[in-house]
Each structure stands twice: as structure tokens, then as C-alpha cells.
Structure 1
Amino acid sequence: AVGIPPKQFQNMQRTLFAKQLIQQTHLSMTDIAITAGYQSLRQLQRAIEQYCATSPTQLRKKEPVQQKAISLFLSYRPPYNWPYVRDFLATRAIEGMERVTDESYERYFSCNESIGFFKATHDEARHGFKLLIDMPDLGRLHTIIENIKQVLDLHADPILIEQSLLQSGLPPSKLTPGLRLPSAWSVFESGCRAIVGQQVSVKAAIGQVTLLVHQLGETVSDALPSNGLESKTSERYSFPSPESVAENSLEFLRMPQARKEAVRHFARLFINGNMPSHEDILAIKGVGPWTLDYLKMRGERNPDVYLGGDLIVRKMAQQYPVAPEKAAPWRSYLTLQLWQLSNQ
């Protein structure tokens, strides 16, 4: 429709995105090259010269303007089961922090000392997501974009995963095509969700996590971001910091005192950006192998975690005899598939 080959059009779009970053942000040229998908600074320079008839330095002569939301496109290998991902995220969405619609997922997130926002809208025809991202500090833009790709599991190879699930003994008719592993935003967030969710339903767990976010999460100012989600609540939030959780008595949570202490102890392990070992996490009273495995699967995005101790997984594995070891290194997807079969 635009009269140029697809590859050339793609290159032009990438260059225009890089140009936008150069003119609208304080990012270093190296960060811009990486964020826009170039292998090197030299590649970025050549592209700018080809499509903009100038150099990156010339483009940056003026002071960067007020940052606006950035749009880009994130691709995946089809098939991609968006209804599964959407419903998984919707069931666990925190009111005021996340919102899931028929075609999109959006949320607020903490980034250094500021709060950002993104909205990912599924585009099945183009095999990807249109991403709108708004954050005042773009120094970590590349990291945040990679995190969003992980949350939506855009790097997965569905054909390879499907072959592994078949090898484990699942009948082809029972496979969910394009199954993905929707991740939590961070290891800390996934651990909080897992501990709060022990021995209760997903709905009850989300009720408690929502209380945690509304009581201790940072409130988003009206000024930022400009494309924020609509919420039934009057406030909008980012997930609480480890410091705020560790220092609070958590009296507002409706759960046994021992579990509140486990959440506080867990939060203490993450203070000052620390990343605790699995041994440190297991040493917390009230945190067992299931909680750690859930954290590894959704927080650390480990594709090879079989939740053999999970009640639903155990029940479905009896109904559909499987050999989990034969699904390696994709046993997390076997866990998800067995969960999915329990809903049918």
C-alpha cells in the first residue's frame, strides 16, 4: 500500500523510532541503538544518514522536548494464544494498577524513583503487540521493554514447546495451541503474590494483594502518565517497594499472622535492590517448595518448573498420565497445560 518492500518499510519505521528517541529523550546514543534494535552504534548512524539525510548528532542539536508516550511494535512467533494470556492476567489483575480488556493489557510500574505506564494491544494479523509506553525517566527503557516481552512471553517458540508437551504423553487433542507463560512484573511481586495466595483461591489471594497495593503502593500522580488506565477506584498505583512492605505491620491483611510475617520477612530480603538466593527464600518460616517453584516459574520466568506438588497439577497428571521429565526444558508449560485442562 505504501509502495516500498516490507523489509525497507520495517527499516524505515525502526529509524523513525530511533529518531524519536534522539529528539525526545536524554538517552545515550548507545542506549537508543540497542532500544531500536540495532546491533551497533555504527548501524544506527548509517540508518539515520540513509533515511533522515543527517547524523544522530545533528538531530540532537536541539534540547530534547517534553517526553511524550513512545509507540512501538513487539512481535512474536505464532501461534500465540492471546485469549489464554488475557484471561490469566485478567483473573490476577490488581484494580487501580492493572487493566485487561478484550485486546489489551496495561499497568503502572515502578522504575527507579519514578512510575511508568504501558499498554500492550494485541494485533493478531501482524503477530504482535502495539506497545504504548510512558515513563519520565527513559534511562531504563530497553530493560522495561524487555520486561514487557517477558510478561507476555513473546520470546517463546510455540512449536518447540508443543513438541515437548507431546513427548510428555499428553494427547494432541488436549493441547492448547500457542500456550504462553504470562510472567509477573518482578521476582519480588511474584513472591508476594505467591505467599499471600497460599492455601486460598486465586480470587481470595487477589483480594489480599489488592489491599497490599492500595495500602502501601505508590500513588500515581495525575500528571503522569498521560495515557493512564481508567479505574473504578479514584487512585492509581504501582506495586509497593520491598521497604514499604518490610516496615509495615500488615494489620490490614485478612490472613494468619504467620503468613503476614512471612510476607514481611520475604520483603526484607529484597531491600536495597538485593536479590536473595533460593535458600534464603526457603529459609523463611511458612515458605515451602510450592511457593518457591511458583516464584521461579512466574517471577524468574524459568520455563522448566513442574509444579508436581500443586493439587490441580497432581489431579490432572493422574487423569492424563504424563512423564514430566520428557517435557524438559519446558516443564513450566506442562504445568500451565494441566491447569488449563482442569478448566475444560
Structure 2
Amino acid sequence: MHRLEIALPEGYRSAGVFAFHSRDAEGVAEVVTPGRIRKAVMLDGVPVLLDVAIDTREARCTIDSATMPAHAREALDSILGLRIDPAPFMAAFGGDDLLGPVIQRQPGLRIVQSATVFEALTWAIIGQQINLPFAIALRRTFIQLGARRHESGMWCYPDAADVARLELDELTTRKFSRAKAETLLRVARLVDDGELVLAHDDDPAHAAGQLLAVKGIGPWTVNYTLLRGYGYPDCSLHGDVAIRAAFQRLLGEADKPSIAHTEALLEDYRPHRTMAAAYLWASLNQPAG
């Protein structure tokens, strides 16, 4: 058992952090209760339970594992949404005609990362082009197929070695499309073999190039992985259906903007397009007008 205290920035907003980690109501790998997140994940090949109590100033973290994982602090920064500071975006676009009112209604919004880059990448592959409830159900199956549990009983989000051992039909017989299953196994085996390196400190352009070279991975998956895995502040999610729906709603248009038009709209928010995406997603849960 290891303990770590992380000072939180002034004005830290935890509501979005809790919401992100509570998307799966069944909570096989994450359990959220008032003021607390418990997240089970494979770190450095070891089942780890991250137990995080959050108040306005501090996150008190307990790392339950046989040894202190080398990447525990990275994982904690990610799940707490500390990789991207929202202040520069708010300063630059708080008065923006389109997103300004959205920002003012929810200042200091944080965009949360997955505990590992591998988790972010596999979630992007799982969730692409399907509705969110189905994606969450597939993710739950994916976690349980990894077959690694922490001694607390919680399932751990698998690492590449766990997934690389799976057979194709273990996924396809559980509602994964063949294309998704093949891509998940391909990625896991590349990472497990050391041919694809997923490191938080990688250069975004290099990381993107590596990912695009993998069969089955396209620009949307790359940008989503840069956002949720690496915490890159300037990801363009112009292919995201929800982003396009948010622009449609904010612009008061009859149809969603095309992908090309959405890309052009997002250009106005460089070099903070990740935070723009966060607020566009948030706008869908705010009152119109």
C-alpha cells in the first residue's frame, strides 16, 4: 500500500472528472462515490487499484499494489484531468461569440485522460462509429476478457500483454465486429512486441505517425488517442459526430456541418482545440441559447 498527495489547482472542478469515470453504471473497473474514485488498471504489468479521495484543494491517493508502479503518478495525473490546464483556453476564448457563453456557464472545465495511453487507444477503437451505451457494454466485456483482477475483486483495465493473448473469436462471439477485433489484437500485439511504443512523453507528431501506420487506425482514432491518452492540447476532433452536432446546435443550423466545415470551424481555436472539443461536448448537456 502506497500513498501520495497531489495538490489541486485553484478553482479545480471535480464534477466532470467524476462524470467521466462513472459512465459505466456497472463499474467493473471504476467505482465512483461522492468525493472518491476507485480505478483498477494494469500498470507496469501489475494489477493496481488507485483509490483517490478528492476535495477542493487536494487529491489523497492510495496505490494498492505489491510494488509502487513507476507510472502511478502519470496515471493519477491523467484520471484527475491534470494534463491540460483550462486557463489559457478560457483567457483566449471566454469572450468568443460561439463558445464564450458555454465557457461562462461551466468555467474551468477539465478534460480527463485515461489512466494509460493503451486504455485510451483501445477505447477509441472500441467506441468508434457506435452509440455510447453499446460502446460502454463492449468496453466492459473487453475488460473482463483481460481476465486480470485486483485482490479487491475489481477488474483491471487490461494491458497490451493481456489483450495480445486473446483469440479473435473471443471478441467476435461477444458482439465485436471483426474489424474492431482485428484492430484491437493487432495494436495489442504490436505494443507487446515493442514495435509500437505508447509513452506519455512522446512527441505528438511522432505518436500520430506511429498510430496512422497501423492498419485499421484512422485520423479520428489518432486524434482521440492524443486527447484521451497523451493529453495533447490541440487535437482536432472534426470527424466526431457529437462535435458536429454541438456546432449545429450552437450555430442554429438545420443540419450538422460537414467534416470539412467542422475542421475549418475548429481551426479558429488553435492551439487549444482539445479544450474546444471539451466545451462543445459539454454544450450538448447545457440549455440551448
Task: Please indicate the TM-score interval, normalised by the length of the shorter structure.
Answer: 0.7 to 0.9
Contact preservation (8 Å) 1:304, 1:329: yes
2:261 matched residue in structure 1 = none
1:338 matched residue in structure 2 = 280
Are 2:100 and 1:172 equivalent residues in the alignment? yes
Once residues 236 and 295 of structure 1 are traced to their aligned partners in structure 2, the CA distance between those partners, rounded to angstroms, is: 25
> TM (normalized to structure 2)?
0.80
2:156 matched residue in structure 1 = 238
1:145 matched residue in structure 2 = 73
Q: 1:259 corresponds to which letter in structure 2?
A: K
Once residues 182 and 310 of structure 1 are traced to their aligned partners in structure 2, the CA distance between those partners, rounded to angstroms, is: 17
Q: State the shift of 1:86 in Å.
A: 0.9
Q: State the shift of 1:171 in Å.
A: 4.6
User: Which runs of structure 2 are paired with 1:267-278 in the superposition (5 Å)?
Assistant: 267-273=188-194, 274-275=196-197, 277-278=207-208
Runs of 4+ more than 4 Å apart: none
Q: State the shift of 1:92 in Å.
A: 4.8
Q: Identity of paired residues, percent?
A: 25
Residue 207 of structure 1 aligns to a residue whose secondary structure is: helix
Are 2:100 and 1:191 equivalent residues in the alignment? no
Deviates more, 1:274-283 or 1:210-219: 274-283
Once residues 244 and 272 of structure 2 are traced to their aligned partners in structure 1, the CA distance between those partners, rounded to angstroms, is: 18
2:49 matched residue in structure 1 = 117
Once residues 99 and 215 of structure 2 are traced to their aligned partners in structure 1, the CA distance between those partners, rounded to angstroms, is: 40
Q: State the shift of 1:167 in Å.
A: 6.2
Once residues 283 and 114 of structure 1 are traced to their aligned partners in structure 2, the CA distance between those partners, rounded to angstroms, is: 29
Contact preservation (8 Å) 2:246, 2:283: yes
The structure-2 alpha-carbon separation of the partners of 1:198 and 1:158, relative to structure 1 and needing over 3 Å to count, comes to closer
2:91 matched residue in structure 1 = 163
Once residues 113 and 286 of structure 1 are traced to their aligned partners in structure 2, the CA distance between those partners, rounded to angstroms, is: 26
Contact preservation (8 Å) 2:124, 2:224: yes
Residue 130 of structure 1 aligns to a residue whose secondary structure is: strand
Once residues 237 and 109 of structure 2 are traced to their aligned partners in structure 1, the CA distance between those partners, rounded to angstroms, is: 17
Residue 91 of structure 1 aligns to a residue whose secondary structure is: coil
Contact preservation (8 Å) 1:92, 1:202: no
Residue 287 of structure 1 aligns to a residue whose secondary structure is: coil
Are 2:6 and 1:88 equivalent residues in the alignment? no
Q: State the shift of 1:306 in Å.
A: 2.2
Once residues 241 and 73 of structure 2 are traced to their aligned partners in structure 1, the CA distance between those partners, rounded to angstroms, is: 35
Q: 2:157 corresponds to which letter in structure 1?
A: F
Q: State the shift of 1:237 in Å.
A: 1.9
State the aligned residue count: 260
Deviates more, 1:314-323 or 1:105-114: 314-323
Once residues 204 and 284 of structure 1 are traced to their aligned partners in structure 2, the CA distance between those partners, rounded to angstroms, is: 25
Q: 2:189 corresponds to which letter in structure 1?
A: R
User: Which runs of structure 2 are paired with 1:1-344 in the superposition (5 Å)?
Assistant: 69-92=1-24, 95-124=27-56, 127-138=57-68, 140=70, 143-154=71-82, 156-166=84-94, 169-175=97-103, 176-221=106-151, 228=152, 235-248=153-166, 249=168, 250-273=171-194, 274-275=196-197, 277-320=207-250, 323-344=265-286
Q: State the shift of 1:279 in Å.
A: 3.3
Once residues 225 and 17 of structure 2 are traced to their aligned partners in structure 1, the CA distance between those partners, rounded to angstroms, is: 18
Larger Rg: 1
In the alignment, structure 1 segments of 5+ residues that lack a partner are 1-68, 222-227, 229-234
Once residues 214 and 69 of structure 2 are traced to their aligned partners in structure 1, the CA distance between those partners, rounded to angstroms, is: 35
Once residues 169 and 243 of structure 1 are traced to their aligned partners in structure 2, the CA distance between those partners, rounded to angstroms, is: 48
In the alignment, structure 2 segments of 5+ residues that lack a partner are 199-206, 252-263
Once residues 157 and 258 of structure 1 are traced to their aligned partners in structure 2, the CA distance between those partners, rounded to angstroms, is: 36
Contact preservation (8 Å) 1:115, 1:135: yes
Once the two structures are superposed, what CA deviation does each residue of 1:138-178 show, in whole Å capped at 9, x if it has no partner? 262xx312330232123543332212333654353321211
Once residues 96 and 186 of structure 2 are traced to their aligned partners in structure 1, the CA distance between those partners, rounded to angstroms, is: 38
The structure-2 alpha-carbon separation of the partners of 1:280 and 1:323, relative to structure 1 and needing over 3 Å to count, comes to closer
